[in-house]
A and B are shown apart, each in its own frame.
Chain A
Amino acid sequence: SAVISQKPSRDICQRGTSLTIQCQVDSQVTMMFWYRQQPGQSLTLIATANQGSEATYESGFVIDKFPISRPNLTFSTLTVSNMSPEDSSIYLCSVVKQGYEQYFGPGTRLTVT
């Protein structure tokens, strides 16, 4: 298995500001992903965090809005830039270590006012 921690666990931010979310895994993993879960909705993939190169973004998500870093095999950050109330969501880090299972972090609950 993999133990994933995220910081912060929650935050309340002003419109127009940016927030960086950190994801730390207790061991090296093959893949890291970032998801968004809007209130009452299922999970939506934002991007795949690639070590040492630019993240791969899903349709509807762009690097300028959600810059991602992954400097090594156990750590990644997601920044939510120029926030608006529509960005209020839970942001989840997810990893695949090897094999068939995907593990999820506890999530970061973001409220934009």
Chain B
Amino acid sequence: DAKTTQPPSMDCAEGRAANLPCNHSTISGNEYVYWYRQIHSQGPQYIIHGLKNNETNEMASLIITEDRKSSTLILPHATLRDTAVYYCIVRVAWRGQNFVFGPGTRLSVLP
């Protein structure tokens, strides 16, 4: 699985969009980009995933660059409850193995 690089921490004002970057320059053509988040003391929560097209769901949007070497998770209107560690994971879509979690980005949403 391709390695990812994320900033260790970010701040965002409540009500503003939170844009969380992820670099995955060694991504392969069959690898997906997944995002999870972990709110303090809870298990990780799936947010979104994509291959090469931009994706949107009720939680967030995922923007993947054309060369697929980086992506951005967008929380359009961040709330205090979005304060969490966000993990970007790149891997081949389900091959019977687990996800490898890096250190992630600690997002703090400020009032």
Residues of A within 8 A of B (CB): 4, 30-31, 33, 35, 42-45, 48, 90, 92, 94, 96, 98-107, 109
Contact = CB atoms under 8 A, between A and B. Distances in A.
Contacts of B15: none
Interface string B71-84: 00000000000000
Contact of B42 (A33, A94, A102, A106): A106
* Chain B interface mostly: loop
Given A42-B102, A45-B98, A104-B44, 7 more contacts: A4-B43, A42-B104, A94-B43, A100-B34, A105-B43, A106-B43, A107-B43
A31 B101 contact: no
A25 B99 CA distance: 19
Contact of B94 (A44, A94, A99): A99
A1 to B, nearest CB: 8
B13 interface: no
Nearest to B45: A104
Interface of B: 32, 34, 41-46, 49, 87, 93-94, 96-104
A48 B96 CA distance: 10
Contacts of A105: 43
A67 B108 CA distance: 38
A100 B43 contact: no
A102 B43 contact: no
Contacts of A100: 32, 34, 49, 93-94
5 tightest CB-CB pairs across the interface, nearest first? A104-B43, A43-B101, A42-B101, A104-B44, A33-B98
Nearest to A102: B99
A32 to B, nearest CB: 10
B98 A101 contact: no
Contacts of B98: 31, 33, 35, 45, 48, 94, 102
Contacts of B102: 42
